[in-house]
Amino acid sequence: MRSKNYGNDVLGGDWRRPRKGQIPEVPAEPGLVAEDPDSGFCGAVVGCDKFGVTLEDRFGKRRVFPLTRSGFLIDGKPVTLVRPAAAPAGPARSASGSIAVQGLRAQVAKESRIYVEGLHDAELVEKIWGHDLRVEGVVVEYLEGVDDLPAIVDEFAPEEGRRLGVLVDHLVEGSKESRIAAQVTSPYVLVAGHPFIDIWEAVKPAAVGIRAWPRVPRGIPWKEGVIAELGWGDDTGATWKRILGSVNTFTDLEPALLGRVEELIDFVTV
C-alpha cells in the first residue's frame, strides 16, 4: 500500500525547483569553487557581472555561466550564485591622496605663500595638490629661479601668520642652490628642496613611458639634452605638456618630491 504522502518516485522531480527557502544564495566571490552540474565543469570564480559568472578550472580554462536559480553545486549541494554586494564606496580622494572636500567654496587666500622656482613646478604642484591648497587657502607663485632668494624673502617680510615656504630644485650638498638657501635664516621661512636637476625628473619614468631619465653631460642644457636623447623633438614646451599629461596622482611622482611639498604645506598652514 503506497502512502499518499509521497509521489511515485521519491528521487524524482526537478532538483532545480526545490521548495522555497531550501536552496541557499551564495555570493560569487573571487576564489569560490563551484560546479555547473549540466556540463560537469568545475572551477573557481574569477569574475561575476550582470551577464553571468566566470569559472576557471585547474588547467586555466574559463567558461561563463548564467546566474540561474539553483544553477550550481558547491560541495555537491545545489546553490544559487548571486552577484556579490558592491563594496561600500570610500571617501573621494584628491590627486594627492587626501580626502576630497565636497562642495568646496572659494575662500580668502592666507597671507602665507609657497614659492616654487618655475612655471613647470607651479603647474605640477597645482595638478597634484591644487585641491589641498584651495582647502587651506594657500597660493603658489613661481619665481623664475632662486638666485635672488634672500632679497625675495626680505621683500616678502615673513612673520608669524605670514609664513613662506620655498620649493627648490637640486637642493643637494655643495650645489649653488644649497648655498643660496643657507642665506635664508628666518624662522618663518622654510626652504625645502628635492635632489632632481629639474622638476621633470621628479616624475617617475614609468609614468612617462621611459625606462629612466637620460644623463645629460655637463655643459648641455638639461631639458634640451633630455628631449634630444629621448628623440622627442626640440620643443621643451610640448615635451612638458606630454610629461604633465602623464601625471594623474601622487603615485606618478617620486617620494623625494612628495615629502617636500607636503612639508611646505604643513609649514605654511600652521
Long-range contacts formed by 29-34: CB under 8 A, 24+ apart: 29/84, 32/74, 33/74, 34/72, 34/73, 34/74, 34/79, 34/81
Q: How big is the chain, counted in residues?
A: 270
Q: For residues 181 and 168, is the Cβ–Cβ distance under 8 A?
A: yes
Q: How far is CA 31 from the centre of its chain?
A: 26
* 8 Å CB contact between 55 and 36: yes
Cell readout for 222 is 638639461
Which neighbouring-strand residues pair with 139? 113
Reading the block at residue 168, the C-alpha cell is 627648490
What is the pTM for the complete model shown? 0.66
Residue 101's pLDDT is what? Answer: 83
Which sign does the torsion angle of CA 83, 84, 89, 90 carry?
Answer: negative
Strand partners, 160: none
Delimiting residues of CATH 2.30.30 domain(s) in the chain = 25-82
Q: Does domain 25-82 have CATH number 2.30.30?
A: yes
Residue 165 in grid coordinates: 615656504
In order along its 270 residues, the chain shows pLDDT tens digits of 333 443 444 444 454 555 555 789 999 998 899 999 999 999 999 889 888 999 988 888 889 999 999 999 998 899 999 999 876 667 788 898 888 887 777 677 899 999 999 999 999 999 999 999 999 999 999 998 899 999 999 999 999 999 999 999 999 999 999 999 999 999 999 999 999 999 999 999 999 999 999 999 989 999 999 999 999 988 999 999 999 999 999 999 999 999 999 999 999 998
Q: CA-CA distance, 72 to 66, in Å (whole number)? A: 10
Q: Of 47, 116, 38, 102, nearest to 72 (Cα)?
A: 38
Asked if 134 contacts 128 with a C-beta cutoff of 8 angstroms, the reply is no
Cell digits of residue 229:
636623447
